[in-house]
Amino acid sequence: MKILLYSPYLFPLHFGGGERYILDCACLARDAGYEVFLAAPAKLLEKNQLSLLAPYEKFLNRSLEGIHLVAAPFFEQTSFVKKLIWTKQWEEIYYLTDGSFFFSLAQRNILHIQFPLPIAKKSFLQNWKLANWQVKNTNSFFTKQYVEKNWQTKVQFVHQPYVDQNEFAVSAAIKKQKQILHVGRFFSQLHSKRQDVLIEAFRLLIKKEPELLKDWRLSFVGSVEDQEYFQSLQEKAAGLPIDFFTDLPRQELIKKYQTASIYWHATGYGVNQDEHPEMMEHFGISVLEAMAAGAVPLVIRRGGLPEVLGEKLDDCLWDDLTTCQEKTLELLRNPEELTAKAKLAKERSQYFSQERFRQTLMEMIGAKKHV
């Protein structure tokens, strides 16, 4: 079976949850015996294919051997007919949409929706395009809720990302440090990670409880996509015990997770969720990874984050900066509670297993019928 996976975000290079998701799907399809191809711009394929995939192998800390790149017409200005005929060669196309749709003549068309983007009143043509995708799935129940409401379409599957427990296992030799961590790309548009809000929260914490916060540091990890925004964060953090780490290798990122005691996340802060669901954290893979490493998540009650934490960690959610600070101080004052919450976080992360992810993927791509 030949399957094409297409994400408009892969090329040029991006390193976020969406890229991890589509590559996880590619690897598992490959391991199931599929002949796997990733759509790429023809002009980039003039270079060595290995050099295009190498940054993602570093990002994932995993081999992408056996996954092929193919020149696709989606990246260029060409005729509708040419694009349509090109899709006919594929038995399956798996498309991570950016909010746009296209007609496909593949035998099976699967649409993955990561953003509940608002869509203006759909035309007959838009409805027809959407209907062309027989299987639709989202990355969270949050996204599913808003897509079904705003797009007026049925979503058959929720395909939440997974976390590899072995990758984040903390050995006895690794000790938790007085560190609050946040992982996320530095950009100000759409679902900005709102690192600016977290800097302000940390500044106020130190001002309120300087002795309790002694030796505690806030660490930001992520790739820089908006240099101006990144510089503004550095200026805002000047004089505070705050560190910035950009473009860390996967193994170094994992060490940050393993040594962090608390994990903060504020995507969607100050935004009305019902009016702008696209500006929320639609799932929160970095939060899940932090939990797998035993960091206690203190995160905003927005988007897909409540479903990541689950019922037992509901009291780790906050709605405003004051509550975020209060919950943080409570944990700092009570090391036993911090340890107990870390255990709950680790246990909850085990729900999002690779096997659960794989089973849903195989059902969507029809592997039970074809492999």
Query: Looking at the predicted structure, is the pLDDT value of residue 49 above 90?
Result: no
Strand-pairing partners, residue 242, are: 218
Query: Looking at the predicted structure, is the pLDDT value of residue 365 above 80?
Result: yes
SS3 sequence, the chain?
A: CEEEEECCCCCCCCCCHHHHHHHHHHHHHHHCCCEEEEEECHHHHCCCHHHHHHHHHHHHCCCCCCEEEEECHHHCCCCHHHHHHHHCCCCEEEEEECCCCCCCCCCEEEEEECCCCCCCCCCHHHHHHHHCCCEEEECCHHHHHHHHHHHCCCCCEECCCCCCHHHHCCCCCCCCCCEEEEECCECCCCCCCCHHHHHHHHHHHHHHCCCCCCCCEEEEEECECCHHHHHHHHHHCCCCCEEEEECCCHHHHHHHHHHCCEEEECCCCCCCCCCCHHHCCCCCHHHHHHHHCCCEEEEECCCCHHHHHCHHHHHHEECCHHHHHHHHHHHHHCHHHHHHHHHHHHHHHCCCCHHHHHHHHHHHCCHHHHC
Averaged over 328-337, what is the pLDDT? 98
Averaged over 352-364, what is the pLDDT? 97
pLDDT value at residue 371: 35
Averaged over 73-86, what is the pLDDT? 91
Q: Name all domains of the chain by residue range, CATH numbers in brackets.
A: 2-162+353-370 (3.40.50.2000), 165-349 (3.40.50.2000)
pLDDT band at 100 (very low <50, low <70, confident <90, very high): confident
pLDDT in tens, 13-23: 778 888 999 99
Averaged over 41-56, what is the pLDDT? 80
pLDDT in tens, 190-242: 778 999 999 999 999 999 999 999 999 999 999 999 999 999 999 999 999 99
Query: Looking at the predicted structure, is the pLDDT value of residue 12 above 80?
Result: no
pLDDT band at 68 (very low <50, low <70, confident <90, very high): very high
pLDDT in tens, 296-312: 999 999 999 999 999 99
Kindly report the pTM of this predicted structure: 0.91
pLDDT in tens, 106-165: 999 999 999 888 776 567 777 888 999 999 999 999 999 999 998 889 999 999 999 999
Query: Looking at the predicted structure, is the pLDDT value of residue 259 above 90?
Result: yes
Query: Looking at the predicted structure, is the pLDDT value of residue 44 above 90?
Result: no
What whole-number percentage of the chain has pLDDT above 90?
78
